[in-house]
Amino acid sequence: MKVHKVTPRGFCLGVVKSIKMAKDALRLYPNKDIYMIGLLVHNKIVVSELEELGIKMLDDWKIPREELIKTIPKDSVVILSAHGTNKKVIELANQLGLICIDTKCEWVLETEQLIEKHLNLGYKVIFIGKENHPETLALTSLDKENIYLVTNIEQVNELNIKCDKIFATNQTTLSIIDTDLIYKAISLKYPQVLIKNDICEATYVRQNAVLQLNEKEIQLLYVVGDKRSNNTMKLVELGIQKNIRTIRIDTKNDINLEDLKNVETVAITAGASTSSVVQNQVIKFLEEL
């Protein structure tokens, strides 16, 4: 079977940095309990490996981080995810006597600083994001009165912002196609808007690589990554939009041989939080068929 390895794929620099900071914490604080609020990165395999090293994971899927932080014993270490964290959570952690290690992605930090800059200049902010995603929760928490979250064009049409100064930006891991359409709707409704599309470089180049695939040559596209990874799921969506049969898998164990019947060429890509080890296992398995 011919295997087309889409490049780039897998770990972005932000994920590499976050994992390194988490592992460094084990070395720097060998005698302290170390906790991780939520998923450090959206990949359960990576998170499981960190748990095996001794980091205790507190999932924030249903419980707000403000509440989870209160359950951590004083003088413990708390690792905050790459997606960003509400500043009030960090302040609370410091008040509770916890040692904070913030692994926030540099691209998310840049978006945060842009939002704060425009809020201080008197702008209303429209933020395009996925509802309840940790990055969206962190960035919209900067000012709940003056930041307006939209997830689709319908919500743009429902906006009623009475201000001449409007700034629009977005979550870093969205679909480049969907985001562009939403920005066009915002510009149509608010011609005075200032726009800064902040889809990160890692997300952009991975999505663009999928968009460049030739749907006449590729019969099947595997996207290796966690279902809670937004950038992974957007790669799946773009593959489908290209009219390529696209399947998301966590590991090679998820490959169903029935899906490969009459398939001559399969393409492989991976989300930005998927390790090269897992990707290479998938590639090797397919190449040996």
- 31 phi and psi, to 5 degrees? -105, 15
d(CA 174, CA 247): 19
Residues 20 and 102 in one domain: yes
d(CA 72, CA 155): 38
Instruction: Give the tens place of pLDDT for each residue, 99-146.
Output: 999 999 999 999 999 999 999 999 999 999 999 999 999 999 999 999
Residues 151 and 180 in one domain: yes
Residue % of the chain over a pLDDT of 90:
93
Range of the domain at 229: 2-10+202-287
Mean pLDDT of the region 12-41? 94
- Residue 62 maps to which CATH number? 3.40.50.11270
Residues 99 and 116 in one domain: no
3 state SS of 188: helix
Residues 207 and 251 in one domain: yes
Cβ-contact 34, 56 below 8 angstroms: yes
Residues 71 and 118 in one domain: no
Looking at 199, 233, 258, which one is the last position of a domain? 199
Residues 18 and 100 in one domain: yes
Residues 66 and 17 in one domain: yes
Residues 124 and 43 in one domain: no
Instruction: Give the tens place of pLDDT for each residue, 219-254.
Output: 999 999 999 999 999 999 999 999 999 999 999 999
Average model confidence (pLDDT) across the chain: 95
Looking at 70, 91, 106, which one is the last position of a domain? 106
- Note every long-range contact of 96-101, with CB atoms under 8 Å and residues 24 or more positions apart, other chains counting: 96/69, 96/70, 96/72, 98/69, 98/72, 98/74, 99/29, 99/32, 99/75, 101/21, 101/22, 101/25, 101/77
Residues 116 and 183 in one domain: yes
Looking at 164, 199, 234, which one is the last position of a domain? 199
Instruction: Give the tens place of pLDDT for each residue, 51-91.
Output: 999 999 997 677 888 899 999 999 999 999 999 998 889 99
Q: List C-alpha distances in Å: 255 to 220, 224, 277, 282, 286.
A: 12, 10, 16, 8, 9
**Total domains, the chain:** 3
Instruction: Give the tens place of pLDDT for each residue, 40-61.
Output: 999 999 999 999 999 999 976 7
Within 13 Å of residue 120, how many CA atoms lie on the same side as its CB? Answer: 6
- Residue 274 maps to which CATH number? 3.40.1010.20
Active site residues: 135
Residues 206 and 256 in one domain: yes
Residues 75 and 89 in one domain: yes
8 upstream amide cis, omega within 30 of 0: yes
Residues 171 and 237 in one domain: no
